Chains A and B, each alone.
Chain A
Amino acid sequence: MTEHNMALAQLEQGEKAIIEFNDLNKWYGDFHVLKNINFSVKSGERIVVCGPSGSGKSTMTRCINRLEEHQKGDLIVDGITMNDNLKNIEAIRKDVGMVFQHFNLFPHLTILENLTLAPIWVRKTPKKEAEEIAMHYLERVKIANQAAKFPGQLSGGQQQRVAIARGLCMKPRIMLFDEPTSALDPEMIKEVLDVMVQLAEEGMTMICVTHEMGFAKTVADRVVFMDAGEIVEANKPEEFFNNPQHDRTQNFLSQILNH
C-alpha cells in the first residue's frame, strides 16, 4: 500500500479535518470576494482549486496562512482558529508552506540561503543541519548543482522548483500552491508539475490553485470549482470532469478543454 493509499484509508476512518472553512466571508472594501465558503480538507488530501480569474480561488487559498484576513465566519487550520493573534498566525505559518505564481525567491540570497533562511530563523535549526536539509530537498527537485547561484541566474522552471524546495525545508504539514505554473514557459511547466506529482505521491496535504487540468485528473482527490466568490462544485476528478453538475462548471470546462 502506498503512502497515499494509507492517507486515504485514514481519511475513510474519519480522521479530523486539517483545514476547515465555516461560513467564511471576505470583502475588499465593498467588493464581496468570498461568499459563505464551507469546505474542509482532511490530512493527506490533495485539492485542486480551479475557476475563472477573479473567482476568489487565490484569495481563499491565501486565507489559510493569513496572507489575507477574512471578516466573517471561521477558519480552523491544524486545530488553531485563525484570528488576529500574531502567535497563532506565526505558528500556522511554520506548518504551512506556500509556492507563489511569481516564485518570490529572495534575489539577494543564494539558492542555499533562500532555503535555510526560515529553518534557521523560525525553527532555530542549527545552520549546518539546515544546510543538509536544504541540500536534500534541492536534490529531490534535481537542482542541487545550482545551490551557490542567485535566483536571477536560474530559469523560471528552476526558480519554481527552488521555491517548492524552500517550502519543504520547513517540513510543513500543508503545502499551498497559488498558480505555480502560470508564469512559466510551456517547456518548463512539466518539470514543475513532475515535482508536484512526486510530492503528492508522498502523502503531502496539498491545496493547489491551477489551470493544469491534466494535473488535476491524475493527482487530485477532489477538484473544487469556484466562481464569483463561491464554491460552485467540489467533486472527485472523474465525476467532476465526466459529469459536471452545474451549467457554470460545464461552461468553464468546455472553454478550457476545447482548444
Chain B
Amino acid sequence: MAIIFKPSPSLPPPTNSVGAVAWVKQNLLSSPLNVFLTLFSAYILYLLLPPVIQWGLIDATWTGESSQACKAAGGACWAFIGVYFEQFMYGLYPSEEVWRINLAVILLVLMVASFAIKTVNKLYLSIAIIVVYPVVAYILFAGGSFGLVVVETSNWGGLFLTTLLGVVGIVASFPLGVLLALGRRSNMPIAKSVCVVFIETIRAVPLITIMFMASVMIPLFLPEGLNFDKLMRVIIGITLFSAAYMAEVIRGGLQAIPKGQYEAADAMGLTYWQSMILVILPQALKLVIPGIVNTFIGLFKDTTLVYIVGMFDLLGRIQAATHDSNWLGTSVEGYAFAGFVYWAFCFGMSRYSMAVERKLETGHKRN
C-alpha cells in the first residue's frame, strides 16, 4: 500500500514578529547603532520643533494692516499672506473677473474626477479634457468673446500662472517627448537625426537661455507685424525644454523592453504604430513613471524662472510683495508660504504617481 503524503498545516507567524512593539524593536532599536541614531534624531527634533511651532503658530499674528502689527508678538507675520493672498493666487487679474479662473479650475477638477465614474466613456472624456477643455479655458482666461472682458496676459500671475505654465508644459511636453524618443530609436535616418540634434541641443542649453530667447530674441527675428504673445512664446520654450528631457526618460523605458516583445508584436502583423501604442509604450511608460514624474516636478518648479523675463508667477508675486514698504521684513513668511505651496503640489504629484504605479502592477515578474 502506498504511503499517502499530507502537507503539514500552515501556522500563524510567532507573535513577537508582528504588532507595534515588534515594529519599534525591528526598526528603531534593532542594534546599538540604531538605538543611538533613534535617540540622536529625537534630540534634534526636540531642538528644532518647539521654536518653529512657537514662531509659526503660538506667537504668530494672523491679522493686521502692516508689519507693525506683527512687531509686538514677535512671531510669524501671516497677516502679510492674508492681505496679499488674492495677488499671490491670481496675480494682477481683475478681482471682479477672478471667478473665471475659479470656474475653469472647478471644471477641470470635475472632469478629471469623473474618470472615477464607471459609466462614463473614458475615450470621450479624454478627448473632452485634451481638446475641448483648453479652448474653453483659454476663452475664460483671456476673454474677448461671449461678452467676457479682455484680460491681457501680462496681468496673469501668481499661482494661476505657475499652474498654467506647469499644466500646459506637462500636457504638451509628454506627447512630444514620446515622439522624440520613438524618433531617436527609429530606423529612418532623417527622423532619427532630427530628433537626436533637437534633444542634444535643447538639453545642452540652460532653461534661462531658452526663456530669454523666447522673450527677447525671437521677436527680433520675426518679420515686422508678425508677433505673438510673450506668454505663448515662454510656454513653447518650456515645453520644448522639458520634452527633450522627457524623450530621454522615455527612451530609457523603451530600451528596457525585451526584444521578444517587439518581435511578438511584429510576428502578429501589427503595424509599427499599432505595436508601439498597444504593446511597447504601455509597458515602457509604466517602467519610467518615476522618471516622468521627476521631470514633471522639475518642470513645475522651473516655471519660477519666468520671473527673469518679467512675468510674475507665485514666487515672483511674493518677492514683489515683500518690497512693499508696509510689509518690510516679511520675506521669511513669504518664502515659507511659497515653499509650502510648491511642496504641496509636488508631493501631491509624487503620491499620485505612486498610486498609478500600484494600479498598473500586473504580475510578479516580467518575462
Contacts and interface: CB of A to CB of B under 8 A. Distances in A.
Contact of B363 (A91, A94, A98, A153): A153
Contacts of B266: 65, 67, 93
A7 interface: no
B360 A108 contact: yes
A108 B264 contact: no
Contact of B283 (A108, A159, A170): A108
A115 B283 CA distance: 17
Interface stretch (A16-24, A117-125, A197-205): A117-125
Interface in A118-141: 118, 121-122
Contacts of A94: 269
A90 interface: yes
Given A100-B264, A107-B283, A151 B274 contact: no
Contacts of B269: 90-91, 93-94, 118, 122, 170
Nearest to A98: B267
Contacts, number: 77
A108 B283 CA distance: 7
Contacts of B263: 67, 100, 104
A118 B367 contact: no
| Chain B interface category by residue count | 20 to 34
Contacts of A240: none
B186 to A, nearest CB: 14
B362 A121 contact: no
A152 B268 contact: no
Interface in B272-298: 274, 278-279, 282-283, 286
A102 interface: yes
A152 B270 contact: no
B278 A117 contact: yes
Interface in B82-128: none
10 contacts: A67-B267, A93-B269, A96-B267, A100-B260, A104-B261, A104-B263, A106-B279, A108-B282, A121-B270, A121-B278
Interface of A: 65, 67, 90-91, 93-94, 96-98, 100, 102-108, 117-118, 121-122, 150-153, 159, 166, 170
What are the 3 A-B residue pairs with the smallest beta carbon separation, nearest first?
Answer: A152-B363, A93-B269, A104-B264
Given A97-B267, A103-B367, 20 more contacts: A67-B263, A67-B266, A90-B269, A98-B264, A98-B267, A102-B260, A104-B258, A106-B265, A107-B362, A107-B367, A108-B283, A108-B286, A117-B268, A117-B278, A122-B268, A122-B269, A150-B363, A152-B366, A159-B367, A170-B268
